[in-house]
Amino acid sequence: MNEWNKTTVGIFCPFTYGKSLPENYRINTGDVPVYGSNGIVGFHNEALAQEPGIVIGRKGTVGAVHYSKKAFWAIDTAFYVVSDTCRDLRYSYYLLKSIGLEQMNSDSAVPGLNRNAAHEIELNVPPLAEQKAIASVLSSLDDKIDLLHRQNATLEKIAETIFRQWFIEEAKDGWETKPLSFIADFLNGLACQKYPPKNDVEKLPVLKIKDLSNGISENSDWASTKVKPEFIVTVGDVIFAWSASLMVKIWNGPDCILNQHLFKVTSTKYPKWYYYLWCKHHLAVFIAKAASQSTTMGHIKRRDLDEALVLEPKDAELDEMSEIINPLFNKLVSNYKKIKTLTVFRDTLLPKLMSGEVRIKT
């Protein structure tokens, strides 16, 4: 650590305020990603930064750190950092992710990150060559994770195309019509605040609606594992958010406890691909129903699951379909398990590399 230099965030990678979008470019379709505190919020055809950079949440999701691989616009709810010859930009990104900026909420009504306070955070940083080496190791892991996510997006599109061909374009007249609620069990989650952890061992993070999109984080709530096993969510489980932001997703994060406003969808008779794709098929209608409600937080009801209809092939036909589509879903879940392993490894390695506990020869 002798050759590492003591510095601060403000000296090493000072934050610049994002700006309001020009009125005539406001979130239009274009080539440049628009970043806010929650990540990409749209696209337009003008860049605030003409090169790759780092975006840090200033309002709302405080301290979230995002990396843009190309020119971008950071809106005024965010700070941003661009490249400099004295430091490696990717290293700076991982460094900012490691120092807990999300813990620096102000006490105001709207949470915010105080730039002056963030700039005062003390750092120890290695020489530029070691910065590049550290960034190379971590970015290679992120690149593998990103590749697996893109593979899974392709696999889902292929599965949805096959499903549409079978059940929409070429559906057979002899197939029976059943309610969606007939082909799967929809287990509603727990009010997890009633199950606080008793110790630091027998606990798991709570899966809430926001976590389906953002993933489990250090800010997630925790609950005791002393719940019925069916309320524990693992990689590959089908999760249906039935309130607020309606969505259906194959869970790809750590083991967690199912919170209320979420269904865990299972079946002892029908294959996973079948009930998952039927749920996705009806999602647009469910979203429209929720949006038409006068309540603040739209949702669907059990009777909506009863009214959503599916086509049921003969057992032999369903088995033949499964032989075609199961390999896609098996690969999908396998990729999610690899993503989980790589993510845990990256998150374990990150603080060790940033503190100098683990060194990389250059």
Residue 125: CB partners within 8 Å, gap ≥ 6?
Answer: 4, 5, 7, 12, 87, 95, 131
Strand partners, 312: 176
Q: Is residue 38 over pLDDT 80?
A: yes
User: Is the pLDDT score of 109 beyond 70?
Assistant: no
Domain 5-124 class in CATH: alpha beta
Please give the span between the terminal C-alpha atoms of the chain, in angstroms, as a whole number: 14
pLDDT at 295: 59
**Domain range annotation of the chain:** 5-124, 176-312
β-strands 238-241, 203-207 pairing: unpaired
Cβ pair 61, 314 in contact under 8 A: no
> What is the number of residues in the chain?
362
pLDDT at 73 over 80: yes
State residue 101's pLDDT score: 84
pLDDT (mean) for 253-281: 96
Name the β-bridge partners of 204. Answer: 223
What are the structure tokens assigned to 188, written together? 């509603």
For 152, phi and psi rounded to 5 degrees? -65, -35
Radius of gyration of the chain (CA): 23
Query: What is 176-312's CATH number?
Result: 3.90.220.20
User: How far apart, in whole angstroms, are the C-alpha atoms of residue 239 and residue 188?
Assistant: 10
Residues 35, 74: contact at Cβ < 8 Å? yes
The sign of the CA dihedral 55, 56, 58, 62 is positive
Query: What does pTM read for this prediction?
Result: 0.85
Mean residue pLDDT across the chain: 91
With beta carbons less than 8 A apart as the criterion, state whether 296 and 277 touch: no
Residue with tokens 């929720």: 290
Query: How is residue 195 written in tokens?
Result: 């199950």
- Pair 73, 35: CB distance under 8 Å: yes
- pLDDT at position 63 is 87
Torsions phi, psi for 331 (to 5 deg): -65, -40
Is pLDDT above 70 for 133? Answer: yes
